[in-house]
Amino acid sequence: MACRFPLDEMVHVELCARLASELGGGVPLLKCPPQTVSYDGKCLLPVATPRPVPASVDGGVAR
Q: Where are the domains of the chain?
A: 2-44
Backbone angles phi, psi at 38, to 5 degrees: -85, 130
Q: What is the pTM of this model?
A: 0.42
pLDDT in tens, 6-62: 999 999 999 999 999 999 988 877 788 888 888 888 888 887 778 887 776 666 666
Query: How much is the pLDDT for 9?
Result: 93
Query: How much is the pLDDT for 1?
Result: 57
> What number of other Cβ atoms are within 10 A of residue 32's Cβ?
14
